[in-house]
Structure 1
């Protein structure tokens, strides 16, 4: 099943309508706190995967999934479709594209996005392991393993390092983002059946 996307301009029009879609931002709480679309709910991808059935039961209107560039939203869409939700689309180009169009965003404490953190950690591990391999035999294989991991991440459109980094306190800081809080927010907000 192919994913359905929506461009930023069309989403802006729908948000101004009388029956707007529900926005689900699947980035980490820290990324969400840094920058998000007004009215979006933060449901991190790992939490969505773990509690999809409970969350899906509260998504009865059209849903637009948001992440930084579209990769995590694509994974979230697959998770939601497997749980039976068919009224879901992905914001094409993610929050990056939304902001590039000049549409309004809420800004909070500035933090590095997850993709930038992955580049930093992978680069540091590769650089340090290669430099230390002159003193410690076979340490260059750590760099090879990270390179292979990045290749697999690109081919599968997943990132194990990113998912590990998403669990760090730095990326969990700011907003309270647990299943009970999310479900409570979803049930308190007035919405209509589509």
Structure 2
């Protein structure tokens, strides 16, 4: 590969020849993903390295997330392990904004995106800190802590709260789902 990143239009033109790896949580993946994408959450990337190395030998890997931050991190980690991959600039957000097709599973309850989960959690903790602060002024530090965390998240383009929320059971892949994804990657290019 000669690029570090593909724009959505570049990726769309080559989608039929790319192996797409979506590193979002299973819940985020279920809200809509690039056609043929395989879901390997970022925190399971190391376990999937042998399979990803084999897939990269067969063709180019495109790594995708919601905004491009997690997929860029995944590409750095893959490069460190000798596995070439490129990220999708702007992630699935940019992909859908440009009108490209996404696949959504039918017949299943669609979980919330990670960004929505973070907004709910951060807002709830801030509100709880403010309300508790009426009785115990020191509780307002909880709200201040979340505010500092949000500023840090914006400056560093990371999100500690998202990392914590990704550990919740509904955001984690079932072992059988991850095994099925790795099996599909070992044998071919198409998946969910």
Q: Same fold (TM over 0.5)?
A: yes
Q: Note the alpha carbon deviations across 1:65-98, whole angstroms, 9 max, x for none.
A: 1111111111111111111123x11111111111
Aligned to 1:62: 60
Does the CA contact (< 8 Å) of 2:40 and 2:48 recur in 1? no
Q: Deviations over 1:102-161 (max 9, x none)?
A: 222111342211011111101110111012111023011111211222222223222121
Contact between 1:36 and 1:106, CA under 8 Å: does it hold in 2?
yes
Partner of 1:183: 182
Q: Which has the higher helix share?
A: 2
Structure 1 segment 5-24 matched on structure 2, within 5 A: 5-16=5-16, 20-24=17-21
Where structure 1 has 5 or more consecutive residues not aligned to the other structure, the ranges are none
1:141-152 alignment runs, 5 A limit: 141-152=141-152
Structure 2 match to 1:44: 41
Q: Which aligned runs of 4 or more in structure 1 are off by greater than 6 angstroms?
A: none
SS at 2:177's partner residue?
coil
- Tell me if structure 2 keeps the 8 A contact 1:114–1:162: yes
Which digits, 9 at most, give the CA deviation of each residue in 1:34-82, with x for residues without a partner? 211111100101111x425334332322111111111111111111111
What is the rounded CA distance, in whole Å, between the counterparts of 1:175 and 1:104 in structure 2? 28
Q: Paired residue for 2:31? A: 34
Distance change in 2, residues 1:148/1:55 (3 Å)? farther
Three-state SS of the structure 1 residue aligned to 2:99 is coil
Ranges in structure 2 where 5+ consecutive residues have no aligned partner: none
Residues 190 and 147 (structure 1), Cα distance of their counterparts in 2 relative to 1, 3 Å cut: closer
**How far off is 1:185 after superposition?**
1.6
Matches within 5 A, 1:28-177: 28-48=25-45, 50-51=46-47, 53-58=49-54, 59-60=56-57, 61-86=59-84, 88-108=85-105, 109-172=109-172, 176-177=176-177
